Chain A
Amino acid sequence: MTKVSEIEVVDDIDQTLMHQYAQGDHSAFEQLYLKHKGPLYRYFVRQIGDKTLAEDLYQETWGRVIKAATSYQSQAKFTTWLYRIAHNLLVDHVRALKPVDNFSELFTEEQDSDGLLPSDKHSPYADAEEQLKASLLKRCIVLLPQVQKEAFLLNIEMGFTAAVIAEIAGVGLEATKSRIRYANQALRECVSEKWQEQNDER
């Protein structure tokens, strides 16, 4: 089974759970919540520096899901619907804050992104190196422009295609593809640079 069809099956299950919840089965909601709480929480936490605000928006998203449960229609996939609510809340609350885009100023479309350092997975320090690079990635994600960050997180967390992300964010397909591509390139660059800086310090 391909990843796309896996997502479709999961969405069918989600829709079923949502309908069960709407009919009064709150255990269905618990299942739904447990399945999506981590990715949705990280969607907010990774995009917003303020953890309290991120948690408020996270709770508000679920609040809206609960409120709309009785009138929920299976026209859109549950995950698409869920993240569209989250996206709209994020836009409403965060757009005015204008996140720091220092990293985006350093990155342009023409830049070559083949700057990754080779990793030696067979060395005894491989796991530690991976952990270090993972933490560097986390710091680099924070530096991404908001729109790229959102596209990257939706892509990597939920495995959403560019088309689905475009639907959630309400932008064109090509623009979404560019955002994902630039985000990947920028993150590779960023991790590589920071890794190099750390090696130089040693």
Chain B
Amino acid sequence: MKDNLNTESVDSQLHTWYRLQATEQPSEQLDDKVIAQAKAAIANHNKDNVVKPRADFWRQYRWPISSAASVMLVVTLLLVNPEIHDELLSDDAAMPQSAPLLMQQDEPAMMRSAGQSEQSGNADLSVDMPVIVESTSGPNAKQASMANGVDDHHRSATIEMMKSDDPVLAENNSQNKAIISDLQAVNHLSQLVSSQQWSEAIILSQKMAEERPQLNHVQHPQHLQWSKLLKAIAQHK
């Protein structure tokens, strides 16, 4: 159907008559009110849209920059402290009991830096202390309390722990092994050798040979050091 003004428009006579009378206009006051309203609305809108100064580089990219800085900080800490790195990567790191382990290991580390070379051997032995401290409940409580005592007691406790067939202690040992890496173990052995504590070095080397057969692999990063230490220990058997 045709939809335009030809079919539905008013006829010309009505249009003419209408135009003769279509003279009503709003009053000037009404015009002024509307125009003033329009001006006020625009003024308010402009006031609301205050031009903000352009954010500088640091402010504009504050989230990416802060994230990158945080990542850099964590990576740097991990590089500076490889022990933490190893512990974080280990399975036990996620377990709640690892928290006290870390806390306890920090303590001997601080002692080591303060105690200098004289007590370095003892301090290094204390790396193993968390295991003993961990086992302060149950049948090993006595041994654990010994760990906090004099160096000799400490050493013997460590050796006893290595030899122990107690299942609870064995479990703790397995946790310890999971935490202590090959590198740490070899370093420990190296320090025993360098401090000429041969009896302990022999025991530890035997233990390591049993529990860490991977050190015998040529491709292992600590294999060379391990071989040298074994040769040195063999000369003093």
Contact = CB atoms under 8 A, between A and B. Distances in A.
Contact of B17 (A21, A55, A130): A130
Contacts of B18: 134, 137, 141, 156
A90 B26 CA distance: 17
Interface residues on A, range: 35 or more
B97 interface: no
Interface stretch (A8-16, A75-83, A92-100, A173-181): A173-181
Interface of B is mostly: helix
Nearest to B15: A156
Given A33-B34, A130-B16, A58 B10 contact: no
Nearest to B11: A184
A134 B8 contact: no
A58 B8 contact: no
Nearest to A32: B38
B37 A63 contact: yes
A192 to B, nearest CB: 10
A29 B21 contact: no
B39 A181 contact: no
Residue of A133, A141, A181, A191 with most partner-chain B CB within 10 A: A133
Interface string B14-27: 11111111101111
Contact of B14 (A26, A156, A173): A156
B45 interface: yes
Interface string A136-158: 11100100000000001001110
A122 to B, nearest CB: 15
A26 B30 contact: no
Given A26-B39, A26-B42, A188-B14, A33 B3 contact: no
Contacts of B42: 21, 24, 26, 29
Contacts of B3: 161-163, 173, 177
B17 A137 contact: yes
Contacts, number: 116
A41 B17 CA distance: 18
B4 A70 contact: no
Interface residues on B, range: 20 to 34
A67 B41 contact: yes
B22 A42 contact: yes
Nearest to A180: B8
B5 interface: yes
A137 B153 CA distance: 122
B5 A58 contact: no
Given A33-B34, A62-B34, A161-B4, A45 B24 contact: yes
A183 B37 CA distance: 36
Contacts of B152: none
A177 B8 contact: yes
A4 B21 contact: no
B5 A131 contact: no
B35 interface: yes
A8 to B, nearest CB: 13
Given A24-B42, A26-B38, A66-B38, A161 B5 contact: yes
A137 B38 contact: no
Interface of B: 3-5, 7-11, 13-22, 24-27, 30-31, 33-35, 37-39, 41-42, 45-46
Given A45-B24, A46-B24, A157-B22, 7 more contacts: A26-B35, A33-B35, A59-B34, A130-B16, A138-B21, A155-B9, A162-B3
| A-B pairs, 5 with minimum CB distance | A134-B20, A134-B17, A137-B17, A134-B21, A29-B38
19 contacts: A21-B42, A37-B26, A38-B26, A62-B37, A66-B38, A116-B13, A130-B16, A134-B16, A134-B17, A134-B18, A134-B21, A137-B17, A138-B21, A161-B3, A177-B3, A180-B9, A181-B8, A188-B11, A191-B17
